[in-house]
Structure 1
Amino acid sequence: MSNFLAFEVTQTGNMFSRGVVRKEHQKLQNNHVEIRIHFSAINYKDALAATKNGGVIQDYPKIPGIDLAGEIVASKDENWPVGQQVLVTGYGLGVSVDGGFSQYQQVPTDWLVAIPEAFSTKDVMLLGTAGVTAALAVRSLEETNIAKEAPIVVTGASGGVGSISLALLHSLGYSNVIALSRKAELSDWLTHLGATSVLSPEQFFPEKIKPLGKQTIAGLIDTVGGEQLGNLLPQISYGGRALLCGNAGGIQLKTTVLPFILRGIQLIGIDSVAIDADTRKEIWQFLAENQAILSQLHYQEVLLTDLDETIESLLEGTHQGRTLVNMEVK
């Protein structure tokens, strides 16, 4: 096989660069397969990884991309034969080892997930880490006795996790889903996804935030964190549940113990990076059972050579839906 293209970032002191480079195929490592990548997807974490002092990558140079899907082209493991279509999300992909922004990549066999028959490589990257995270949050919500007509709030609703969460909630029959978004121009799309109302945070919050507010939220899927999350917790109803899966608004949380000890609410962190293999299979089966949501999701495709614009839009908070990275050379 000839050499191939990859999007690589490097930083030495104050010198930082990113861009497409040519890489050479390496001898297949033990307990690895080599994948010809069809699609990757760009997430907020990838945008940080491709930024100077982004706090994601610890050693350079590195190929970002926490998601990939494609076809095995080299393997010494009969359980993962050449030709099988697989996906990888999370683990150390694109962080501690080279990731999905590459036409080829070697990946440990115990990171692999066989792509369900219902999906193509493009389909699974339309979901990717965002879909896994949203599915984990929605399934956690399903474990409660929250009624399907009770108010559910999704923050950062126009992003990958938020938009997929809306679509999944609608698919499962939740009929009172409030999308919090500052992008009023996307209201029609968010409603199409399944939101019954679209509000800015300022429209939703009471004029004065109190340690215990009016109980207006039964369940919360929060992708923002920071001050906004602190404002929402006092409004969660008795026995409600908040699923935390993002920090675009900051990592600090200012709150009191009152919603927890007087209303018995639960605050649950959602991590999709280090979940075990069995849970990954269950999540992808759950997503396959709800594959109809794919037709509702907004996405765009870019090439490796065109990643800069998407990176900047993610960092600026202007990005909508999902962006797939197509590895074909055009």
Structure 2
Amino acid sequence: MSNQPTFNALVVEEDANGNFNKSIQERSLTDLPENDLLIEVHYSSLNYKDAMSASGNKRITKHYPHTPGIDAAGVVISDKSGTFEEGQEVVVFGYDLGMDTSGGLGQIISIPADWAIECPESLTLKEAMIYGTGGLTAALSIQKLEKMGAKPSDGPVAVTGATGGVGSISIAILKHLGYEVIAFSGKPEQSEHLKALGASEVRHRDTINEIGQKPIGRELWANAIDTIGGDYLANLLKQTKAGGAVTSCGLAASPEFSMTVMPFITRAVSLLGIDSVYIPLEDKKAIWQRVATDMKLPNLESYGEEITLAQTPEYLDRFIASKTVGRYVVNVRG
């Protein structure tokens, strides 16, 4: 580890014509905000929110130039708060990292100390980033279903956005915990990949909406994890078994949905919101202990493709073009 005065980072800049351009640039510590905790980043990961930030979405990032990256794993350089020791391995997810605070797609970050947690001993920094925010969200979704009483014997769990980061890790963890999984995807060419992750059946996502405008449908799955929102979320709820639940954590299809109250009052179906950004630090530590123990996947490295910092502009464009599959781990120093 070196306390270097300059470092490389992905920088997104807005030009005079309102276009947003991505490049790897040399940055200085003085470009970072004044915070207690300084971290040398070793690994990050790519998420859809990073792609939105990198394309100039002002709902995600208001001020440019900016370095995206809502995930980071690395080694403490210094901590004025005294929370962490120099050389300690830490992971950072959520809060304002990569939104309006320079993020994990830079080799050094400066953050408040209470944004970081110690990396669990049973996970390497790279493994932590294979999970990343996508894996954290998947784990939180499964844990919330469990708190509502979900168990493998209830029947299959439906997962939408199955080839995405949250969807793919959800399938793998559910299978690891003994659940049957029905995967829904708009990429039928990825069916064998999804079955290899653990899905027992793969269906086109549009089959969810074949119910049309009916207020309620046949009971087809015990529980569900929805990552895309819109009509898919509404129609998942309409076809969930009595007493089941559907978690909601994404809006790739739409942030809005319309439906009747019938599934809620005739089948006691529950809609569960998932927040992986601002959850209390103690809850974040607790779910990471599960990710590192009973939810830890065998052959974990096979679930993420490793790329370099120099490749991130290309891969972020792939997110916007819906040409990504699974998790992408960024070797920030490779």
- Deviations along 1:217-245, one digit per CA (max 9) or x if unpaired, are 21110001112222222111211101001
- Deviations along 1:254-289, one digit per CA (max 9) or x if unpaired, are 211111122211111101000011001101100001
Secondary structure of the corresponding residue to residue 238 of structure 1 = coil
The answer as to whether partners of 1:209 and 1:231 remain within 8 angstroms in 2 is: no
What displacement does 1:307 show?
A: 1.3
What displacement does 1:96 show?
A: 2.1
What displacement does 1:296 show?
A: 7.1
Tell whether 2:283 aligns with 1:279. Answer: yes
Secondary structure of the corresponding residue to residue 292 of structure 2 = helix
- The aligned residue for residue 305 of structure 1 is 310
How many corresponding residue pairs? 328
Cα 1:296–1:35 shift into 2, 3 Å: closer
The answer as to whether partners of 1:28 and 1:34 remain within 8 angstroms in 2 is: no
What displacement does 1:208 show?
A: 4.3
- The aligned residue for residue 39 of structure 2 is 35
- The aligned residue for residue 125 of structure 1 is 129
Secondary structure of the corresponding residue to residue 301 of structure 1 = strand
The answer as to whether partners of 1:220 and 1:242 remain within 8 angstroms in 2 is: yes
- The aligned residue for residue 11 of structure 1 is 14
CA-atom RMSD in angstroms: 2.0
Secondary structure of the corresponding residue to residue 216 of structure 1 = coil
What displacement does 1:299 show?
A: 1.9
Tell whether 2:296 aligns with 1:317. Answer: no
Secondary structure of the corresponding residue to residue 180 of structure 1 = strand
Unaligned runs of 5+ in 1: none
- Deviations along 1:113-134, one digit per CA (max 9) or x if unpaired, are 1001101110000001011100
Cα 1:17–1:208 shift into 2, 3 Å: closer
For 1:16 and 1:78, locate their aligned partners in 2 and report how far apart those are by CA, in whole Å: 38
The answer as to whether partners of 1:193 and 1:296 remain within 8 angstroms in 2 is: no
The answer as to whether partners of 1:299 and 1:321 remain within 8 angstroms in 2 is: yes
What displacement does 1:295 show?
A: 2.8
Secondary structure of the corresponding residue to residue 245 of structure 2 = strand
1:1-330 alignment runs, 5 A limit: 1-11=4-14, 14-26=18-30, 32-53=36-57, 55-149=59-153, 150-174=155-179, 176-206=180-210, 208-289=212-293, 290-295=295-300, 297-329=302-334
For 1:53 and 1:188, locate their aligned partners in 2 and report how far apart those are by CA, in whole Å: 34
For 2:230 and 2:138, locate their aligned partners in 1 and report how far apart those are by CA, in whole Å: 19
What displacement does 1:320 show?
A: 0.5
Deviates more, 1:176-185 or 1:112-121: 176-185
- Deviations along 1:277-323, one digit per CA (max 9) or x if unpaired, are 10011011000012234537432222222112211221122211111
The answer as to whether partners of 1:191 and 1:198 remain within 8 angstroms in 2 is: yes
For 2:285 and 2:211, locate their aligned partners in 1 and report how far apart those are by CA, in whole Å: 44
- Deviations along 1:76-99, one digit per CA (max 9) or x if unpaired, are 343301000001000000112111
For 2:178 and 2:301, locate their aligned partners in 1 and report how far apart those are by CA, in whole Å: 16
TM-score, structure 2 length as denominator? Answer: 0.92
Matched letter for residue 116 of structure 1: P
The answer as to whether partners of 1:168 and 1:293 remain within 8 angstroms in 2 is: no
The answer as to whether partners of 1:167 and 1:293 remain within 8 angstroms in 2 is: no
Deviates more, 1:287-296 or 1:187-196: 287-296
Cα 1:238–1:305 shift into 2, 3 Å: same
What displacement does 1:54 show?
A: 5.3
For 1:237 and 1:29, locate their aligned partners in 2 and report how far apart those are by CA, in whole Å: 49
Secondary structure of the corresponding residue to residue 292 of structure 1 = coil
TM-score, structure 1 length as denominator? Answer: 0.93
For 1:97 and 1:162, locate their aligned partners in 2 and report how far apart those are by CA, in whole Å: 27
Secondary structure of the corresponding residue to residue 169 of structure 2 = helix
For 2:170 and 2:134, locate their aligned partners in 1 and report how far apart those are by CA, in whole Å: 9
Secondary structure of the corresponding residue to residue 243 of structure 2 = strand
What displacement does 1:179 show?
A: 0.5
Question: Runs of 4+ in structure 1 displaced over 6 angstroms?
Answer: 27-30
Cα 1:293–1:222 shift into 2, 3 Å: farther
For 1:326 and 1:277, locate their aligned partners in 2 and report how far apart those are by CA, in whole Å: 26
What displacement does 1:192 show?
A: 2.0
For 1:237 and 1:72, locate their aligned partners in 2 and report how far apart those are by CA, in whole Å: 48
For 2:137 and 2:22, locate their aligned partners in 1 and report how far apart those are by CA, in whole Å: 27
Matched letter for residue 166 of structure 1: I
